[in-house]
Structures are given as C-alpha cells and as structure tokens.
Amino acid sequence: MHIAVCMDVAADRKQLERLLGRSADRRLAACPDVPYYVQSYGNKDALLARPFMYDLFFIDIHHAGITSVELLRELRAMGVIATIVLCPVQDDAVNELTPDDDALILRQPVQVDELEHILDAALEVSKDTAPKLDIRGIRETVIIDEDEFMYAVKNGDMIDAHLKDGRVISCSELMGHFSLRCEKFANLHYVSPELLLHSQAVMSTGFGSIVLQDGAKFRVSHRWIRKLEGLIR
C-alpha cells in the first residue's frame, strides 16, 4: 500500500511517519505479501504532481495558501478515489466537510489504535478499487486504466508511453521512477531499463526478442521471454 503524508508542520509529519513505520513493521511481520511505502511532503505541489500512485493520504495543511479541506477537494476533483484522511489538531476542518468529500478524520495527537483502524479501512478500500495510472506528458496528462496501457520505452532522458488507442505520450520521467508507480498493477512489468510493458500487449516471443501488438520489436532477456510466455493469455 502506497501512503502519502502531506503536513506542513514538520514535527507532526515526523511523528506520523514514525507511527506509520512501526505499524508497517508489525504488519509486514504478519503478512509479508502487503508491503507499505510511505512518502512525505511538506507542501501540496509535489503531492499534486503524482496523486494517483497512492492508496491512502494523510493531510494537515496550515501555511500553504490552501486549507486541508481545499486540498482534499482538489484531489477529488482530479479524480482521486483513494482514502483521504484529515489530521486536524482542532475541529475547524471537520466542520467544513460534507458527505461528498468522502474523508476520514484522525485527530492529533494521533492515537495508535485509531491509526490502525484507518489503515485497516484503507487496505480494504484499496483491494476493492481498481487503481488508475496517471501519465503526465509534456503536452497532456491522461489518467487511464491498466488495460489502456501498452508499453513505455526509454527515449533519451525521457520515456514514450504507448497506449492501446494508438496515442504516444512523451514524458519527462525516468523509467525507474515510472516503474515504481506501476508496481501496483499486476499486468505491468519492468522488463529492462529501456522497456516496461503490459503482459497482454505481447503478440509473440522469439529467441531473445518479443513483438508487441503494434508491431514494435524489442530484445529482452531469456528469463523474461520465459516469464512473459507464462503470462500471455
């Protein structure tokens, strides 16, 4: 589960990071199949650049020209459907919320049992919700389902994302970082530093190479040839 902590008070942010770290250690010991990744932000700008990679948000903003509720609503307006938790010290933010905001409340100072309840609830939501992939190109941003993606190929310091409808979106993003955002998608595979693909985009395999649905041909390792042959339906 990918978790974003966006708090502009450093002490509050660090405290929640510590609590989440301890909880993740306990949960991983009980169930190693569900890793937890925590990314922290001191302002909204970096968070809004990549919101669709997260399954859970913790928000408490005071000094960034935007309130916690406004940031919550901006995320919802972008199409974020993940669990969003406001972490107020007082009840001011809580009183502004409406049912359409679809937010949870975790008051500070954070109590461990309340945090665990939030994590349990968010984990259940993430299991039932199909994640979206945001591809932020130079000229456009698209938000797509997993099966709308075909492959991404390295192009110098950029990547070109090829979609199944024929669009090619050039992105100023490193392949390694893009692959991390794709880890939550069962059918997307980081085959090499030059190529990340949807397993069902593979048309055929050969000796050290594959051909994709649009006719593109790539050389890949024999290990990946064998693995992809087992994944193709």
- The structural domain count of the chain equals 2
Per-residue pLDDT averaged across 150-174, rounded? Answer: 94
Query: What crossing angle do the helices spanning 112-128 and 10-30 adopt, rounded to 10°?
Result: 70
Q: Which domain holds residue 218?
A: 135-231
Predicted local distance difference test score (pLDDT) of residue 142: 85
Instruction: Give the CATH number of the domain where residue 165 resides.
Output: 2.40.50.1020
Instruction: Give the CATH number of the domain where residue 122 resides.
Output: 3.40.50.2300
Contact between 115 and 23 under an 8 Å Cβ cutoff? The reply is: yes
In 3D space, the residue among 142, 226, 144 whose CA is nearest the CA of residue 189 turns out to be 226
Boundary of a domain, candidates 100, 128, 156 = 128
d(CA 134, CA 8): 25
Per-residue pLDDT averaged across 73-88, rounded? Answer: 92
**25 and 96 share one domain:** yes
Where residue 171 falls among pLDDT bands split at 50, 70, 90? Answer: very high
For the question of whether the overall pTM of this predicted structure is more than 0.75, the answer is no
On the 0-12 / 13-18 / 19+ scale of CB atoms within 10 A, 5 is buried
**186 and 213 share one domain:** yes
Predicted local distance difference test score (pLDDT) of residue 91: 66
Render pLDDT for 107-133 as a digit per residue (tens, 0 to 9): 999 999 999 999 999 988 877 777 788
